[in-house]
Chains A and B, each alone.
Chain A
Amino acid sequence: MELDLDLSLSPHTNSSNFGLGFDLSKHLNTKEKRFDAMLGLENMEEDCYVSKPRSFSLNGQSDKEDDDPLEPDSSVVYDEEENCKVVGWPPIKSCMKKYLNYRHRSRNHPYHHHGRRINISNQPATTERGGPLTSLRSSMYVKVKMDGVAITRKVDIKLFNSYESLTNSLIAMFSQYQDCDREDTNFKFTFQGKEGDWLLPGDVPWKIFAESVHRISITRDCPCPYTRLLF
């Protein structure tokens, strides 16, 4: 199949020149020139917006010519770790993003051993269940703040082995502060990881959560005069 596109463009090794003075029609074949002409766009130069150099790299700093990295109209956001991350990029769904984020963090945890998982080709007779992660630390205290309660409590995450056991205990612990009926109340648990993002129970597998949780926040929603006063 014949493809009649012209591969040889004028060299653009310095990509910061893109968009400035680039003449589109120079490198088209006749058919394409006709299409361009048909649209009457040759004289559009004055009205058209010509962009500033847009090249930047995700991991490094933005282009040298770009003095102010915090342009208001850019969607590049610098987070606390000065890791240049673009909002909504790459375009993967948030459930997958969350999953991959935490897999990555668990792999890079200082206590993580790469040989933790069974490899079918060289499987030892018995393998330690659960791996070294949980046994290396004896306890891990995390702050718990419940909506409407002044005092922050602390719990040792290592005492629990599932989201359900943790949330049950937390509810029991705070029950003395409640003045509304337990059955009525809907508790919402959110957990803050070391990176600062907030997750819901089950967003990540328990093991990974237990290693990286930093803070717990509980909000409750019940038809009770006390909570109405809060809002």
Chain B
Amino acid sequence: MDRAIKLQLSTSEMNYFPDEVIEHIFDFIPSHRDRNSISLVSKSWHKIERYSRHQVFIGNCYAISPERLIRRFPCLRSLTLKGKPHFADFNLVPHEWGGFLHPWIDALSKARVGLEELRLKRMVVSDESLELLSRSFVGFKSLVLVSCDGFTTDGLASIAANCRNLRELDLQENEIDDHRGQWLNCFPDSSTTLVSLNFACLKGETNLSALERLVARSPNLKSLKVNRAVPLDALTRLMSCAPQLVDLGVGCYENEAEPESFEKLMAAIKKCTLLRSLSGFSEVAPVCLTAFYPICENLTSLNLSYAAEIQGNHLIEFVQFCKRLQLLWILDSIGDKGLEIVASSCKELQELRVFPSDPHDEEDNNTAVTEVGLVAISAGCPKLHSILYFCKQMTNAALITVAKNCPNFIRFRLCILEPNKPDHITSQSLDEGFGAIVQACKGLRRLSVSGLLTDKVFLYIGMYAAQLEMLSIAFAGDTDKGMLYVLNGCKKLRKLEIRDSPFGNAALLADVGKYETMRSLWMSSCEVTLGGCKRLARNAPWLNVEIINENENGRMERNEEDEREKVDRLYLYRTVVGTRKDAPPCVTIL
């Protein structure tokens, strides 16, 4: 941001330079926000910035239309698009809600934009779109799909076959229909440019020989994440022909390894001296994890969140040697003891995610993590800045200690599995604990709260969380005041998502202008009524106010509309292109 300010001050001098020079200077400013600021300085800068902008990030695909995007940034090369609201990850948004990729590809293709990279999150992607994409952009290099759905391996086949310069195909947690096609075979023999290939989320069989041949002819391959269907001996062969791998996602081994295969695997692993990141292990005997001991000291990233077969003691045995770990995603089977060992071994840790191995508390084991593990991590890992922690219990004292130990949190997400659960020692609400977090962590940008919480926690958040951009609330608060504290206090708030909390029309309508400064607001199972939403929509034409209905019949019956009727799910967002035309029957846009 400093550079942008300095440039702003010397505009008049700078305008003596030809545009190409100014453009070259802008090249050093990649941040979207800085570039947005630059474009506001003057008309000539706006123009230069427009034509030199290559990367665009669109946080809500319905905030703008593809045509307007292309008109403003005709030299676009890299586009990031996000579709469905975040709570779609937890089945709170109907499948057909929207977020379709096709209109974007269609428009970009027609305008002959030189697209090279496409990153999508929670969008609906069809095979037709993928085919059109593969045929329209000669220089296309990189496709990253996260939590998308609507396509099959046929779509992947067209990407493989037609994108001659493909470097990256990264599929993360998508719902992909796996047909009995041979998409891996569709990479032509001349294709040697792959740098990153991730198909871990594919559920079907994989053509192993096609995969091995592809890996063998891709000398630049740095990242390879295979799916469950790749057995141990195949993995060994893959690693043997790709010792340059930096990032590896391991498949699944239904049967325990023969000692000989295990030896071969270890030998192949030893050669991968550049390996820094490991994931997968979804159906694996612990012995396979131990095969990676030779390189575990080099690891900076370890994702064992799908390794439910590996028991706590084996996890601990492995992780304690990963001294350089910066990122760790793990199941709570590691236990508090395991986290204490992580705290004493992994001094470089920056991001930790602990997922629940028993989300509905159906088993009798007591090895889940508690506040003890969280405190240990906060005490032992000075560089920790991001945490996602699922646990069964928490105390204010622990949170206050964590806040004192770790004032550097940027992301703090705590999920106590049982809604409304109080401090398990004092039986009080957790207001003070979370209050301590927001007061201590002055750079906090993302927060998720849980447990028993009153309006007071929101008073603290409104007062102290000055940098907060995203807040997730569930089963919390007592009155509209809670939501109002947040809306009034958090000046940088961009995304607010609330479920099952008693906030109603008074909070929703108090400051309509606030929503223009935010990307979106989600409220489900709250106290807002249809009448309140209608009033909001009338006073804020720049917003799309969407009501998502429960019933399958579709639109709300006109004669049954009662303004006092509570709205099941409300999703509103700012937009410059008005009401969208592709909403399904279960969505009513006011």
Contact of A88 among B87, B282, B428 (CB under 8 A): B87
Whether A47 and B480, one on each chain, are in contact in the complex, defined by CB atoms closer than 8 angstroms, is yes
For B431, list chain A residues within 8 Å (CB): 9
A100 to B439, CA, bound (A): 36
- In the complex, chain A residues 50-69 whose Cβ is within 8 Å of any chain B Cβ: 50-51, 54-59
Residues A91 and B256 in contact in the complex (CB < 8 Å), given A12-B429, A163-B204: no
Residues A87 and B91 in contact in the complex (CB < 8 Å), given A118-B286, A118-B287, A120-B290: yes
A-B pairs with beta carbons under 8 Å apart, 25 shown:
A1-B407, A13-B427, A24-B456, A24-B459, A32-B459, A35-B489, A41-B485, A49-B506, A51-B527, A54-B420, A56-B420, A57-B418, A58-B360, A75-B524, A95-B175, A104-B363, A108-B362, A118-B286, A127-B256, A163-B204, A163-B205, A200-B177, A201-B178, A205-B283, A206-B254
Residues A117 and B355 in contact in the complex (CB < 8 Å), given A49-B480, A58-B417: no
For B460, list chain A residues within 8 Å (CB): 5, 32
Contact of B429 among A9, A96, A127 (CB under 8 A): A9
For B524, list chain A residues within 8 Å (CB): 75
For A50, list chain B residues within 8 Å (CB): 478-479, 502
Known: A48-B479, A58-B361, A97-B359. 19 other contacts (CB 8 A): A1-B440, A5-B436, A44-B479, A49-B480, A54-B420, A57-B418, A59-B361, A90-B390, A91-B472, A99-B306, A100-B358, A104-B362, A117-B309, A118-B256, A118-B285, A120-B314, A164-B205, A202-B178, A205-B252
Interface string of B356-398 (1 = CB under 8 A from A): 1111111100000000000000000000000000100000100
A15 within 8 A of B: yes
Residue of A nearest to B431 (CB): A9
A36 within 8 A of B: yes
Q: Tell me what chain A mostly uses at the interface: helix, strand, loop, or mixed.
A: loop
- Interface size for A (C-beta < 8 A) is 79
Whether B480 and A48, one on each chain, are in contact in the complex, defined by CB atoms closer than 8 angstroms, is yes
For A28, list chain B residues within 8 Å (CB): 456, 459
- In the complex, chain B residues 469-491 whose Cβ is within 8 Å of any chain A Cβ: 472, 474-475, 477-481, 484-485, 488-489
A89 within 8 A of B: yes
Whether A117 and B286, one on each chain, are in contact in the complex, defined by CB atoms closer than 8 angstroms, is yes
For B407, list chain A residues within 8 Å (CB): 1
Whether B360 and A92, one on each chain, are in contact in the complex, defined by CB atoms closer than 8 angstroms, is no
For B435, list chain A residues within 8 Å (CB): 5
For B147, list chain A residues within 8 Å (CB): 93
Contact of A39 among B203, B485, B566 (CB under 8 A): B485
For B477, list chain A residues within 8 Å (CB): 51
Top 10 nearest A-B pairs (CB, nearest first) are: A202-B203, A51-B502, A88-B90, A19-B478, A48-B479, A49-B504, A48-B480, A103-B308, A75-B525, A88-B92
For A129, list chain B residues within 8 Å (CB): 255-256
- In the complex, chain B residues 267-293 whose Cβ is within 8 Å of any chain A Cβ: 282-283, 285-287, 290
A interface residues, Cβ below 8 angstroms from B:
1, 3, 5-7, 9, 11-13, 15, 18-19, 22, 24, 27-28, 31-32, 35-36, 39, 41, 44-45, 47-51, 54-59, 73-75, 83, 85-97, 99-100, 103-104, 107-108, 117-120, 123, 127, 129-130, 162-164, 167, 186, 188, 200-203, 205-207
- In the complex, chain B residues 96-134 whose Cβ is within 8 Å of any chain A Cβ: none
Residue of B nearest to A9 (CB): B428
B201 within 8 A of A: yes
Q: How far is the CB of A33 from chain B (nearest CB, A)?
A: 10
Contact of A93 among B89, B282, B390, B400 (CB under 8 A): B89
For B50, list chain A residues within 8 Å (CB): none
Whether B500 and A75, one on each chain, are in contact in the complex, defined by CB atoms closer than 8 angstroms, is yes
Residue of A nearest to B504 (CB): A49
Whether B440 and A90, one on each chain, are in contact in the complex, defined by CB atoms closer than 8 angstroms, is no
Residue of B nearest to A3 (CB): B436
